[in-house]
Structure 1
Amino acid sequence: TEEGTLNLNSNASKPQGLIKLIDAQDDLSIQVHPDDAYARAEGLGTFGKTEAWYVLHSDGAKLALGLKAGTDEAALRQALTEGRAEDAVLYQDVKAEDVVFLKAGTVHALCSGVMVYEVQQSSDITFRLYDYERFGLDGRPRDLHIDRGLAVTDFDAVIPRPDSAPPPAPGGTVLVDADEFTLILHGADTPTLTTFNAFAAVTVIAGKGRFAGVELILGRTALIPAGREITVLPAADLRFLVAAPGC
């Protein structure tokens, strides 16, 4: 896993965004994150955690996304305490170039065989609901946070579905346009990038290119300061994602 902290707001006193490249070689823990209001009310920080995934690779993998129909708090609690999380959580097929938007309060997990680009709010608040009875480095079962996790779970949330990303249009294709952040897919026909009131983070997901004279290859990320216009010189197969603060 590669992880970087990005200050995506030029007026912010602390970073407001994180970008990660996550290669899940095992089923990761089933978890849920709080929203901003809960995080602040509980003294956990300024931000909750809404996030989005762009799937870079999938070996016929699945994602845990939301809850099965009819699962309420009591049913989820019982399934978790009895070690039957799979009976309550909805697993969905996923393929490369799918996009998933995950609002805070959505139960979710990455499963073995998937690699994603993740953009999220700058928060490390994770309530682990189920962890396949794994042990930590201390030889003891890893902590679960069932009570707090159930408290922040949105049982009425619309179930997120993996959507195939459209091909990049000239000037970019918007994949996510949310209050927390935007995510735009670009290809080789983007000659310039412009930022306005905030930084943007550029991550190359295919090919390579030169951004303001700096070469970026697959998997590399660079920050573009606010109020800049830079030239992009692409290789033919260049694709890159640009993350920036939402409105």
Structure 2
Amino acid sequence: MPIEHASVRAMHKPWGVSDLQPWSSIDGTGDAVGELWFERADGENAPVPALLLKLLFTSAPLSIQVHPDDTFARAMGMPNGKSEAWYIISAKPGAQVGIGLKRRVTPQELRASITNGSIIELVQWRPVAKGDVIFIPAGTIHALGAGIVLAEIQQRSDTTFRLFDYGRARELQVDNGVAVAHAWPPRSPGNPTRLTDERTVLVASRHFVLERIELAAASSWALVAEPETWILVLDGHAAIGLATVSTGQAIFAGGGRTSIEVGSSGLTALIAYPAAAPVDSLLQRLCEQPTNLVHPAAPNVPKLTGLAEVGT
């Protein structure tokens, strides 16, 4: 199968940072970098992936925003909407995110809160820490605070409806935002599920599965990838097929079987692929007994969140 080092595209943002170490050597001095997009190396000729993998770096709050679902997006002539998941890599003391609202409001009340700025108080803010996971279905009002580094996996869409932007001179999309917003509180948080000793399912949604894998030093594995599989290294290093990867680097696997040879410091990585449930056969240890399933995957695996899932 094709195994590619993902190319990296830096996105300059007013809320970004200048120092991206240890995740990237890109220098944001003078033009802050807020996002790193991981793309297929042969993006011009390869099929467009269903998912987009990013790293985000925040030095200031992002806009309070919302994304459309598939139905609304297609009515506007776009291929799909945008559901996403965040994995918190690091967070400064006091860092927080906004997910959903504190109470249910009418569209008229939501619009009024945007106009007078009280939406800041209406959003449900909560602290975050390293390792937290947040699933954000399309329609969820959400925002990122300052001092956070996170990995994001999302449906491949860049459609964002900004509701409030802290006075920055950027266009708001209030009409569309109010039309698609789920203007109510989030559901109670769920918990990641340990699938095997090495695999933890962080999110299993209708559009994608996000897992964290933790592989022992000097171990050997077979990866049986879905037709589109993204791997982001959080810690350690390994050889995946013929590609060597370390912290902050990403791999695109185009489906099929390949090897993972883990380095001397072990490997912790995120794996994401478009599926509605975890794939049992994704990872098998070589030269030893097959990986023991802790909680066997099933077609009806519920959506998993680390902090919040917003009801529909």
TM bucket (normalised to shorter chain) is 0.7 to 0.9
Structure 2 match to 1:55: 88
Deviation at 1:236, TM superposition (A): 2.8
Deviation at 1:232, TM superposition (A): 2.8
Tell me: CA distance 1:96–1:34, structure 2 relative to 1, closer, same or farther (3 Å): same
Tell me: CA distance 1:121–1:51, structure 2 relative to 1, closer, same or farther (3 Å): same
TM-score normalised according to structure 1 size: 0.87
SS of equivalent residue, structure 1 residue 26:
coil
Deviation at 1:124, TM superposition (A): 0.7
Higher mean Cα deviation, 104-113 or 149-158? Answer: 149-158
Tell me: CA distance 1:193–1:126, structure 2 relative to 1, closer, same or farther (3 Å): farther
Q: Please report the RMSD computed on the Cα atoms of aligned residues, expressed in angstroms.
A: 2.3
- For 1:235 and 1:62, locate their aligned partners in 2 and report how far apart those are by CA, in whole Å: 35
Preserved contact between residue 198 and residue 215 of structure 2 (Cα < 8 Å): no
- For 1:122 and 1:105, locate their aligned partners in 2 and report how far apart those are by CA, in whole Å: 16
- For 1:185 and 1:57, locate their aligned partners in 2 and report how far apart those are by CA, in whole Å: 16
Structure 1 match to 2:221: 192
Structure 2 match to 1:138: none
Higher mean Cα deviation, 64-73 or 123-132? Answer: 64-73
Given candidates 174, 193, 200, the residue that maps to 1:146 is: 174
Unaligned runs of 5+ in 1: 135-140
- For 1:85 and 1:224, locate their aligned partners in 2 and report how far apart those are by CA, in whole Å: 41
Determine if the alignment matches structure 1 residue 201 to structure 2 residue 230. Answer: yes
Deviation at 1:14, TM superposition (A): 2.8
Structure 1 residues 74-133: Cα deviation after superposition (integer angstroms, max 9, x where no partner): 222111101222121110111000000000000001110111000000001100000001
Preserved contact between residue 6 and residue 19 of structure 1 (Cα < 8 Å): no
Tell me: CA distance 1:235–1:183, structure 2 relative to 1, closer, same or farther (3 Å): farther
Structure 1 residues 21-80: Cα deviation after superposition (integer angstroms, max 9, x where no partner): 00111100110000011111121x111000000000001210011011133322221111
Sequence identity (%): 33
Structure 1 match to 2:299: none
Length, aligned pairs only = 235
- For 1:196 and 1:145, locate their aligned partners in 2 and report how far apart those are by CA, in whole Å: 38
Given candidates 154, 162, 183, the residue that maps to 1:155 is: 183
The amino acid across from 1:16 in the alignment is: A
Structure 1 residues 148-172: Cα deviation after superposition (integer angstroms, max 9, x where no partner): 00100123563474x6757794341
The amino acid across from 1:199 in the alignment is: E
Determine if the alignment matches structure 1 residue 4 to structure 2 residue 38. Answer: yes
Tell me: CA distance 1:182–1:48, structure 2 relative to 1, closer, same or farther (3 Å): same
Structure 1 match to 2:136: 102
The amino acid across from 2:115 in the alignment is: T
Preserved contact between residue 103 and residue 185 of structure 2 (Cα < 8 Å): no
Preserved contact between residue 199 and residue 225 of structure 1 (Cα < 8 Å): yes
Higher mean Cα deviation, 98-107 or 212-221? Answer: 212-221
SS of equivalent residue, structure 2 residue 265:
coil
- For 2:237 and 2:213, locate their aligned partners in 1 and report how far apart those are by CA, in whole Å: 12
Structure 1 residues 167-209: Cα deviation after superposition (integer angstroms, max 9, x where no partner): 7943411111111111111112373243354121111011222
Given candidates 202, 205, 211, the residue that maps to 1:178 is: 205
The amino acid across from 2:71 in the alignment is: A
Preserved contact between residue 18 and residue 122 of structure 1 (Cα < 8 Å): yes
Determine if the alignment matches structure 1 residue 212 to structure 2 residue 246. Answer: no
Structure 2 match to 1:38: 72
